[in-house]
């Protein structure tokens, strides 16, 4: 066997060595990510159910679940509620509030940052269901908020009945703002102080420094955080379900709540999986939008 052939075989083996190290990761992704998606896609074309005649025999129903979904008025209401909840709690709430808190904490001493950070982090580290119970007690008819209003002789409000969407938006803001705050703290700390000091010497105001230096400098962090917060918010279920159950009526029925009700309350798993794919599609579209924004 010649030296050339041995060297060629060794080189080919080295070229494929990277694949051996990636195999465990690829196997995990296929098993826990790709396979469930493919299975969900398949079930969305079936009459899969937990009870009734459909539960006895699995049948392929074609586009029946999708046709039913696009003619179902509750789906349109759920999409609209999901977008309101997403814009209110993620885009405006967590993103803006997290940025403002991080900005106000910049250049403050370590003790102040530690205390404020701990207070804000309390909502984030608390389990979602515990957060929901705390917020239910806060916004309840005889809850803490109405007790405060009564102390100042202000008429009480049935928050979870009159303005339930506002209540769950505020709840999700409290629960998730800490994540944005941490991301923006790291980004703001990396803005070179020399640039800001040079702008101050040139006579720039604080607002000019903020909008012309700071925000453009951390633009990619803002977009990345927006994408992460959006995907987290699209999947919020326990908080809404424990606070309002999607009601009253359909006022807080988002896509995850509607999907759960169809799949596990009405036992129509086939229809529920079709709705879950709609939610997945919404997440993909928004992610592509943010990724395209990153390239600009």
CATH number for 245: 1.10.3720.10
Quote the CA–CA distance of 102 and 118 in Å, as a whole number: 13
Q: Backbone dihedral region of 235: left (phi > 0), alpha (psi from -120 to 50 degrees) or beta?
A: alpha
- Number of Cβ within 10 Å of residue 141's Cβ equals 11
Please indicate, yes or no, whether residues 273 and 182 belong to a single structural domain of this protein: no
Please indicate, yes or no, whether residues 202 and 146 belong to a single structural domain of this protein: yes
Q: Which of 78, 94, 80 is nearest to 230 (CA)?
A: 94
Quote the CA–CA distance of 186 and 140 in Å, as a whole number: 37
Asked if residue 85 has pLDDT above 90, the reply is yes
Please indicate, yes or no, whether residues 105 and 239 belong to a single structural domain of this protein: yes
Whether residue 154 lies inside any domain: the answer is yes
Q: Which of 228, 237, 233 is nearest to 287 (CA)?
A: 228
Whether residue 10 lies inside any domain: the answer is no
CB 40 within 8 A of CB 58: no
Tens of pLDDT along 131-151?
A: 888 988 898 888 889 899 988
**Domain boundaries, position 233:** 85-255
Verdict on whether the full-model pTM lies above 0.75? yes
Please indicate, yes or no, whether residues 148 and 283 belong to a single structural domain of this protein: no
Taking the CA atoms of residue 268, residue 230, residue 176 and residue 244 in that order, the dihedral angle to the nearest 10 degrees is: -30
Please indicate, yes or no, whether residues 127 and 231 belong to a single structural domain of this protein: yes
Quote the CA–CA distance of 249 and 208 in Å, as a whole number: 47
Domain count, the chain: 2
Q: For the packed helices 269-295 and 73-85, what is the interaxial angle rounded to 10 degrees?
A: 40
Please indicate, yes or no, whether residues 206 and 270 belong to a single structural domain of this protein: no
Tens of pLDDT along 211-243?
A: 888 888 888 889 889 989 999 899 899 999 999
pLDDT band for position 3 (50/70/90)? low
């Amino acid at each position: 066997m010649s030296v050339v052939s041995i060297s060629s075989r060794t080189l080919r083996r080295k070229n494929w060595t990277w694949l051996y190290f990636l195999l465990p990761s690829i196997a995990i992704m296929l098993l826990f990510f790709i396979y469930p998606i493919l299975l969900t896609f398949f079930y969305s074309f079936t009459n899969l159910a937990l009870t009734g005649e459909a539960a006895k025999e699995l049948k392929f129903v074609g586009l029946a679940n999708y046709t039913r979904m696009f003619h179902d008025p509750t789906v349109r209401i759920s999409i609209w509620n999901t977008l309101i909840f997403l814009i209110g709690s993620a885009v405006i709430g967590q993103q803006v509030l997290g940025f403002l808190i991080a900005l106000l904490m910049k250049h403050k001493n370590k003790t102040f940052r530690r205390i404020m950070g701990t207070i804000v982090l309390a909502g984030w580290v608390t389990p979602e269901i515990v957060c929901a119970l705390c917020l239910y007690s806060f916004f309840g008819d005889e809850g803490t908020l109405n007790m405060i209003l009564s102390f100042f002789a202000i008429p009480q409000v049935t928050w979870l009945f009159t303005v339930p969407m506002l209540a769950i938006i505020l709840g999700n803001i409290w629960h998730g703002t800490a994540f944005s705050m941490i991301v923006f703290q790291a980004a703001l700390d990396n803005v070179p102080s020399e640039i800001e000091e040079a702008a101050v010497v040139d006579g720039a105001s604080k607002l000019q420094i903020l909008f012309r230096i700071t925000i453009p400098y951390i633009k990619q962090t803002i977009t990345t955080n927006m994408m992460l917060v959006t995907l987290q918010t699209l999947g919020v279920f326990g908080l809404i379900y424990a606070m309002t159950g999607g009601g009253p009526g359909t006022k807080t029925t988002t896509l995850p709540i509607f999907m759960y009700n169809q799949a596990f309350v009405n036992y129509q798993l086939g229809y529920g999986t079709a709705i879950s794919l709609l939610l997945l599609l919404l997440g993909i579209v928004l992610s592509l939008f943010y990724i395209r924004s990153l390239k600009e």
